[in-house]
Chains A and B, each alone.
Chain A
Amino acid sequence: MSTKRLQSALAFFFTSAAIALVVVACDATSAEIPGRSAATAQESVKEAAIGAVDGLAPQQLPSSSQAIELELALASRRELYLELDLGHRILKIKARGIAVDQVDLADVRLLAVEQAERIAPDLNPPVVWRVAARPAGLRPVSAPATLRAFADAESTQIDRGTASVAAVRAPPAETPDRYSVPLESGWLLELAPEGPPPLPARLAASARDGWERLRGRHHPLPPRILLRTSVADARRIHHLFRKGTAILVRSPAPS
């Protein structure tokens, strides 16, 4: 094969690969991000919801008796609970019916696989979901290998005079700024400072899943709620997701 032929073959291959990549990219993008009409429809819903509460604080949703009844049940207990407002992109930390803190979300996305229609499975707001397990990270286990016997001569009393001098502690591990919270409903709540992963990462994930399926390993891919937060906010609320924590999920009212 002459050099010219080799060059032509390589050029043909790379051109074909580039075209194939563009085709797949368009397909994957359209799968991940709905078309303009869907996005516009979503914005319309949001605007309609804001308009419906004209005169109230912008964070407030239009009241519904079902939502208030659900919140009454949560607020009548002493536990902390969260209110996730999908429409206005706000996560409120609440106790006894009042918001003690809130996080403004940069973006909220609902994602699912093998969903023929773009309707969230088993999500009919207002609804109360509970955290199934804590997010991973930040739980160092301190375990002395053995315990020495307590001796009466060995006092553990603190000396008031020197205690403040001895008060040094290694800086704690940094709280994660991206994590996943499994919910009892089967959904996965994901908090991260950035949006969905870039196209190459999505393609790689899809290829990995394809490989696993070819090998007969069908692992579940739960539906996800992606909450895009700032790094500081993600760290600030990490400790609130304890097993059993209730999340009241709200959504815009129909326009």
Chain B
Amino acid sequence: MTTESATIPLAARRSPPRLPGVGRLVAAVAGFLLLVTATGLFFLAGWGRTYRRLELPVEQPSEHDTAATLDRLSSRLVALAPSGHYLMIDTYRGELRVYDRGQLVRRAVVSSGSGDVLRDPRTGRLWIFDTPLGERRVQRKVRDPVWIKPDWAYVEEGMEPPPLGHPDRHDPVSLGDYALYLGDGYIIHGTLFQTLLGQAVTHGCIRVGDQDLAYVYETTPIGTRVLLY
């Protein structure tokens, strides 16, 4: 009986396979380039700046931190907070909340500003369709409001705006049944586009569904504080 190994010449078994001449040269060059690259990278990394983590600073106490002073300042801070009847609008989640004497009494799905930017090709004027953040107050309330369309409403449609006072600027439909004016052209109003409620699609106003808007309109007096965030 003969084995397979017995048929292989002894020299072939003992000597490892040799790289041809060109292969050895390529391997040597590749190794050299790798070495140079790695050395260069380490050198550059050493020359470059590295961010170091810092310790958290500590707040140093003041000699004014007496209990009486802290109470007085805290009271002034608490007095600034809204109380009674007020609205809060979470623009990211698309939610309007009505509070009465600190209690949440109603939630509504709303649409808020898209954040888009519109540019007038004639003048280069920019409009940024953000909903304002922070506190506003309800300045006036209107049933069956008429929207006086600003220039951007036409530019957005690729149209030159008509003169101020033009009848086409009077839109009795788009604001829905009620409007609560917050100043600077920002309004809490109704919408024809109920399917877009909850999305950031408006030009900065707050759009509310019909039933919720009727509730907000009826229960919210003029002067009510509105916190938008």
What distance in Å separates the Cβ of A223 from its nearest Cβ neighbour in chain B?
A: 8
B24 at the interface (CB under 8 A from A): yes
A34 at the interface (CB under 8 A from B): yes
What distance in Å separates the Cβ of A229 from its nearest Cβ neighbour in chain B?
A: 14
Bound Cα distance from A254 to B59, whole angstroms: 7
Across the interface, B47 reaches (CB within 8 A) one of A146, A150, A156, A214, namely A214
Across the interface, B159 reaches (CB within 8 A) one of A110, A150, A253, namely A150
Interface residues of A in 170-193 (CB under 8 A from B): 172
What distance in Å separates the Cβ of A35 from its nearest Cβ neighbour in chain B?
A: 10
Given contacts A146-B121, A160-B173, A254-B60, contact A210 B46 (CB under 8 A): yes
Please name all residues of chain A whose beta carbon is closer than 8 Å to the beta carbon of B53 when the two chains form the complex. 31-34, 38, 109-111, 118
A136 at the interface (CB under 8 A from B): no
Across the interface, A112 reaches (CB within 8 A) one of B51, B64, B65, B88, namely B51
Report whether A224 and B51 are in contact in the complex, using a CB–CB cutoff of 8 Å: yes
B77 at the interface (CB under 8 A from A): yes
Please name all residues of chain B whose beta carbon is closer than 8 Å to the beta carbon of A101 when the two chains form the complex. 90, 229
What distance in Å separates the Cβ of A82 from its nearest Cβ neighbour in chain B?
A: 10
Report whether A80 and B45 are in contact in the complex, using a CB–CB cutoff of 8 Å: no
Report whether B159 and A147 are in contact in the complex, using a CB–CB cutoff of 8 Å: yes
Report whether B117 and A96 are in contact in the complex, using a CB–CB cutoff of 8 Å: no
Bound Cα distance from A12 to B19, whole angstroms: 19
B13 at the interface (CB under 8 A from A): no
Please name all residues of chain B whose beta carbon is closer than 8 Å to the beta carbon of A65 when the two chains form the complex. 62, 64-65, 69-70, 73
A104 at the interface (CB under 8 A from B): no
Given contacts A3-B19, A160-B192, A253-B61, contact A150 B160 (CB under 8 A): yes
Report whether B194 and A167 are in contact in the complex, using a CB–CB cutoff of 8 Å: yes
A57 at the interface (CB under 8 A from B): no
A79 at the interface (CB under 8 A from B): yes
B16 at the interface (CB under 8 A from A): yes
Closest to B51 in A: A111
A28 at the interface (CB under 8 A from B): yes
Report whether B48 and A97 are in contact in the complex, using a CB–CB cutoff of 8 Å: no
Report whether B46 and A68 are in contact in the complex, using a CB–CB cutoff of 8 Å: no
Please name all residues of chain B whose beta carbon is closer than 8 Å to the beta carbon of A221 when the two chains form the complex. 49, 51
A53 at the interface (CB under 8 A from B): no
What distance in Å separates the Cβ of B192 from its nearest Cβ neighbour in chain A?
A: 4
What distance in Å separates the Cβ of A191 from its nearest Cβ neighbour in chain B?
A: 14
B158 at the interface (CB under 8 A from A): yes
B222 at the interface (CB under 8 A from A): no
Report whether A13 and B35 are in contact in the complex, using a CB–CB cutoff of 8 Å: yes
Across the interface, A118 reaches (CB within 8 A) one of B52, B77, B122, B228, namely B52
Given contacts A93-B229, A143-B121, A242-B133, contact A17 B81 (CB under 8 A): no
Report whether A157 and B76 are in contact in the complex, using a CB–CB cutoff of 8 Å: no
Report whether B160 and A147 are in contact in the complex, using a CB–CB cutoff of 8 Å: yes
Report whether A96 and B158 are in contact in the complex, using a CB–CB cutoff of 8 Å: no
Report whether B48 and A72 are in contact in the complex, using a CB–CB cutoff of 8 Å: no
Report whether A80 and B57 are in contact in the complex, using a CB–CB cutoff of 8 Å: no
Closest to A160 in B: B173
Residue-by-residue, is A115-137 near B (CB-CB < 8 Å gives 1, otherwise 0)? 10011100111100000000000
Bound Cα distance from A226 to B35, whole angstroms: 35
Report whether B28 and A112 are in contact in the complex, using a CB–CB cutoff of 8 Å: no
A-B pairs, 9 with minimum CB distance = A210-B48, A209-B48, A210-B47, A210-B44, A167-B193, A163-B192, A206-B48, A78-B135, A207-B44
Known: A13-B31, A156-B157. 8 other contacts (CB 8 A): A61-B59, A71-B77, A146-B121, A158-B174, A158-B192, A163-B193, A172-B199, A209-B48
A-B contact pairs, 7 of them (CB 8 A): A34-B53, A65-B62, A95-B135, A126-B59, A143-B121, A206-B44, A206-B45
